[in-house]
Amino acid sequence: MADGPQWLTRRDDVVAHLFYAAAEIGAAELELGNRREPGSLSFPSPDTGTFSFFANESENDHVAPEVGKVVRLLYGREDAHYSFLTEVVEVAAGNRWRLSFPRTIERNQQRLVERHRVVSLGGYRTRLDMGSDGWLSLPLYDLSAGGLSFVFDPEQYAIQTGNALAGSLIIPSGSRIPILVEVRHIRTAPNVTAKKLCGCRFVGLAASDHATLARSLAEWRQRRT
């Protein structure tokens, strides 16, 4: 864990984080003046740049914020904590309040989402177009709402940092999610010095596919716990 807060600002990272927060954390608190309203989060809408906060049902009427008001959202799990300022875009009937995407998210850890080690479990695979080298099809090492990693043989495939690779992600339900990934880092694979571990970030993942992946990871985590 790093000392002091860290800041998440890149839009694609913010979107991936909001999908993760809705699917795998869910619960949040909205800070309104000197009180906090507990509730839950919806998946984000990248097209509108908004997401929804659902205040928990209670015997007392909710004091809804005014449209245009800047509020703070706080949430986390275990030792990971997040917060950000957001603007109220709409106060819908009942307990649903629509909020704008944050410009920055404050976090106390380097990771923007939780990565799940899926290497020994099966069910999650990727198939990537390597051009003249053919197709690369293999199990994943780990996976998150923000990206994936896999082990490959550098003697067979010439993958370099910065490469953009297109293909598909296969999840345990059998669904195939079309993906474009950017190679962020390559290092020696754990326990296999002759192979490399390739870490990638999703680029432009469709909102519906992001939601499918986020739900799958949340279900996978529930089964594991």
Per-residue pLDDT of the chain (225 residues; tens, 9 = 90+): 344 446 667 888 899 999 999 999 999 999 988 888 999 999 999 999 999 999 987 645 667 788 999 999 999 988 888 999 999 999 987 688 999 999 999 887 666 788 888 886 668 999 999 888 889 898 899 999 999 999 999 999 989 999 999 999 999 888 999 999 999 999 999 888 899 999 999 999 999 999 999 999 998 877 766
Shared domain check, 220 and 127: yes
In a domain? residue 185: yes
- 69/126 same-domain check: no
Asked if residue 124 and residue 220 are part of one domain, the reply reads yes
Instruction: Check whether residue 93 and residue 124 sit in a common domain.
Output: no
Do 145 and 73 share a structural domain? no
Domain membership of residue 1 (yes or no) is no
Angle between the N-to-C axes of helices 207-224 and 11-20, in degrees from 0 to 180, rounded to the nearest 10:
40
Measured in degrees and rounded to the nearest 5, phi and psi for residue 3 equal -80, 130
Range(s) of the domain holding residue 203: 116-224
Judge if 100 and 150 occupy the same domain. no
Buried b (16+ CB within 10 A) or exposed e, 189-198: beeeeebbbb
Q: From the CA atom positions of the chain, what is the Rg in Å?
A: 19
Q: Which of 222, 224, 223, 216 is nearest to 20 (CA)?
A: 216
Same domain, 126 and 83: no
Residues 136 and 182 in one domain: yes
Distance CA 177, CA 187 (A): 26
Q: Which two tokens stand for residue 128?
A: 């990537």
* Number of structural domains found in the chain: 2
